[in-house]
Every structure is written in structure tokens, then in C-alpha cells.
């Protein structure tokens, strides 16, 4: 008797999933965004991520905590872009995964990697802002506080918390919802009504808070205080008391820190521009009274804003090149170094030595 009931239950569930799989078809605008928008993101994103990793792997930047953090940001952005490639194949190229793979496990892996990378990228920017704030507020103590080792330890703690917060996505409570439909292909399984309600009414708000709103508020607070502090120092009249050797070294350090601040500012600017629209729409659309009748329209807008958000993970390298002379110089030197240019190799050692006060000459 129990076996018959189980069989009937499984048959009903299978029928329902197949029914909804056939009923919900991605709107043409959604297919168009995945098919034409995301390849542009991938082209610029992967090239930019590789170039950023190569640039920030230089010794002159790896010995600065902010440089190490930007390398973590590049890795996290690359992971997110890889997950977007999976979506591009399924929803853009319309190559069906349902019925061909274990879709529940596939959903757990895809969603977990995407969520973790989003949070890690956002909070890495917060740590970068915090790092710059310490260097501005406590310049004489920053050398001992803002070290690469301590920066990586903080990233590791954030990553552990990030994994812990999203661990529920790896459980049987999460899996396929309406496979093949871009907006809700993956989600809470239908077997747990409590988790289903939690995911859509509570978890969505938690995600928006930890991925976008809280990082945005913290970064704006740090940036505002940094700007106020910089302006106050500009108004202060400071007479140089050191010799030319120390003065040149001090000026180089100030230039280095200023350029790293510009890198931080542009990254945060892109983050704010690309993440706030999708966060705002997710909050409002999920609470529309007639959402069931406008699901296709919501899907189109949501996916479009999601693609716009993906630009945050693709454009950092190019904004750095446009706004920071230090980044351009380091990138060019790294390319020459990788091509075997001995002069670029020598410049690399000289720039590094100058940054840490062992030499005073920079070519």
C-alpha cells in the first residue's frame, strides 16, 4: 500500500515538473540577453580577469595589502563569470540540461558557487575600503596593521562565513524548481513548504542585504571619511623637514597610496552602479500583488538587470587602466616581463625596492 502511494506521489511530481517545464518558456528578450549580452561580458570579463591577475601578481603589488585584495577580487569575479557561462549555455544557446544530468545537484553547485562568489566580491571591496580607511586615518600605524598576511586572514574569515551562510543551498532542501526557465530554474524543492516560504520571503531579503545594501553602506561610510580626511590634510600646511632622499621616498609612497585609492574608488563606483538597480527591483518585484500574471515581464526585467550586474565582474580591469597610471604602468611592465624583456625585469625590481624604501630611483 505504501509503495503504491509513493509511486503515485512520484508520478505526480514528475508529471508536474514536466508540465511546468513545457509550460514556462523563456521569453525572446531573455534568450536575446543571454545569447548576445553575455558573450560581450565573457569577452571583456575573462580577458580583464586574466590581465588583472597577472598585474596584481607583480611583486610591487603583492607586497601591498590592497594589491593582494584586488587579486582575490579578480579570482572571485572569474568564478562568477564561469557560472554565468553555464547559464549562457542553458538559457542562451538553449541546450537543455534537464533530463540529461542530475539537475538537483547541478542546481546546488551552480547556485552555491554563484552566491558565494557574489558575496566574496562584495565584501572584498568592503575590506579594500577598510584597508584604505586605516591607511588614511592611521598612517603611522598602517604599516603594521595593513599587511598582506592580515588582509588574507580577513578574507579567509569572510569566506568561511560566506560558505556557512550559503550551506543550506547544498542540502536536499534546494534543487530544481522549474528547470529550463531562466529566473527560477533552481530554487527550494517542493517537498518542504517551510523552506519554500523562507527562501522566497526571507532569504531573498538576506541575499540583497549581504550582497548589495550592507556592503554599499559600509563602503560609502569609509569613502566619505577618507575624502574628508584627505581634504583636511590638503588644507594643512606641512613644512618638509626631511632630506631629499626621505622626501622623495615619502612622495613616492603618497603617490602609490593615492593610485591604490583610485583603484578602490573606481571598483566601488562600478559595484554601486551595477548592483543597486537589480537589488531594488528584486525587492519590489517579489512583492507585486499581480506577479503571477506578469511573470514573463518580471523575468525579462530581472534577467536584463542581472546581465547589467554581471558587468561589475567584467569591467574592473578596464576602469583601472583608464583611471590609474600606476595600474597601467604595472600592467605594461608585466606584459614586457612575461615576453622576456630584461629591462622590464629590472624595472620590476626597482619599482618594488622604491615602494618599500630601499632605493630612491624610479625609471
- What single string gives the DSSP state of each residue in 79-117? HHHHHHHHHIIIIIS----TTTS-HHHHHHHHHHHHHHH
The pLDDT value recorded for residue 254 is 66
The pLDDT value recorded for residue 347 is 52
Considering only CA atoms, which of 197, 343, 302 is closest in space to residue 294?
302
Q: State how far the Cα of 155 lies from the Cα of 149, in Å rounded to an integer.
A: 10
The pLDDT value recorded for residue 127 is 94
The pLDDT value recorded for residue 253 is 62
Q: State how far the Cα of 122 lies from the Cα of 275, in Å rounded to an integer.
A: 10
> Helix count (H) and strand count (E) of the chain?
16, 2
Helix (H, G, I), strand (E, B), or coil: what is residue 174? strand
The pairing of beta strand 174-176 with beta strand 186-188: antiparallel
CA 117, distance to chain mean position in Å, is 6
Burial class (CB in 10 A: 0-12, 13-18, 19+), 363: exposed
Q: What is the pTM of this model?
A: 0.79
Sequence-ordered alpha helix ranges (H) in 28-64: 28-32, 38-56, 59-62
Helix (H, G, I), strand (E, B), or coil: what is residue 179? coil
Q: State how far the Cα of 248 lies from the Cα of 253, in Å rounded to an integer.
A: 9
The pLDDT value recorded for residue 251 is 65
Considering only CA atoms, which of 21, 104, 45 is closest in space to residue 310?
45
CATH 3.40.50.1820 fits 26-235+252-323, yes or no: no
The pLDDT value recorded for residue 266 is 81
The pLDDT value recorded for residue 130 is 92
CA 217, distance to chain mean position in Å, is 16
The pLDDT value recorded for residue 305 is 82
Domain boundaries, the chain: 26-235+252-323
- Looking at the DSSP bridge assignments, the partners of residue 187 are 175
Q: State how far the Cα of 102 lies from the Cα of 121, in Å rounded to an integer.
A: 29
For the chain, list residues with pLDDT below 50: 1-15, 237, 291, 293, 346, 348-363
The pLDDT value recorded for residue 178 is 81
The pLDDT value recorded for residue 309 is 86
Amino acid at each position: 500500500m505504501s509503495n503504491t502511494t509513493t509511486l503515485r506521489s512520484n508520478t505526480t511530481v514528475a508529471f508536474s515538473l514536466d508540465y511546468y517545464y513545457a509550460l514556462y518558456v523563456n521569453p525572446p528578450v531573455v534568450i536575446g540577453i543571454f545569447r548576445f549580452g553575455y558573450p560581450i561580458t565573457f569577452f571583456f570579463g575573462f580577458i580583464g580577469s586574466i590581465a588583472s591577475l597577472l598585474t596584481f601578481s607583480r611583486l610591487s603589488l603583492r607586497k601591498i595589502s590592497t594589491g593582494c585584495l584586488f587579486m582575490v577580487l579578480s579570482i572571485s569575479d572569474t568564478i562568477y563569470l564561469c557560472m554565468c557561462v553555464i547559464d549562457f549555455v542553458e538559457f542562451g544557446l538553449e541546450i537543455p540540461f534537464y533530463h540529461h544530468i542530475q539537475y538537483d545537484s547541478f542546481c546546488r553547485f551552480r547556485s552555491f558557487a554563484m552566491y558565494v562568489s557574489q558575496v566574496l566580491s562584495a565584501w572584498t571591496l568592503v575590506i579594500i575600503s577598510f584597508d584604505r580607511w586605516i591607511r588614511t586615518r592611521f598612517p603611522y600605524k598602517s604599516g603594521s596593521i595593513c599587511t598582506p598576511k592580515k588582509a588574507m586572514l580577513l578574507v579567509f574569515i569572510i569566506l568561511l562565513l560566506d560558505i556557512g551562510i550559503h550551506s543550506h543551498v547544498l542540502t536536499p532542501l534546494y534543487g530544481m524548481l522549474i528547470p529550463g526557465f531562466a529566473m527560477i530554474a533552481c530554487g527550494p524543492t517542493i517537498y518542504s513548504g517551510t523552506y519554500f516560504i523562507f527562501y522566497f520571503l526571507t532569504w531573498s531579503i538576506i541575499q540583497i542585504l549581504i550582497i548589495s545594501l550592507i556592503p554599499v553602506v559600509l563602503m560609502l561610510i569609509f569613502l566619505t571619511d577618507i575624502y574628508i580626511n584627505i581634504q583636511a590634510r590638503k588644507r594643512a600646511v606641512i613644512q618638509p623637514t626631511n632630506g631629499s632622499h626621505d622626501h622623495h621616498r615619502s612622495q613616492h609612497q603618497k603617490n602609490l597610496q593615492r593610485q591604490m585609492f583610485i583603484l578602490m574608488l573606481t571598483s566601488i563606483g562600478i559595484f554601486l552602479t551595477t548592483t543597486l538597480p537589480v537589488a531594488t527591483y528584486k525587492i519590489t518585484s517579489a512583492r507585486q500583488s499581480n506577479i503571477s500574471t506578469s511573470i514573463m515581464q518580471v523575468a525579462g526585467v530581472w534577467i536584463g538587470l542581472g546581465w547589467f550586474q554581471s558587468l561589475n565582474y567584467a569591467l574592473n580591469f578596464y576602469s583601472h587602466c583608464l583611471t590609474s597610471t600606476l595600474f597601467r604602468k604595472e600592467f605594461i611592465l608585466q606584459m614586457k616581463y612575461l615576453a622576456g624583456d630584461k629591462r622590464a625585469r629590472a624595472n620590476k625590481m626597482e619599482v618594488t625596492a622604491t615602494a618599500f624604501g630601499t632605493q630612491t630611483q624610479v625609471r
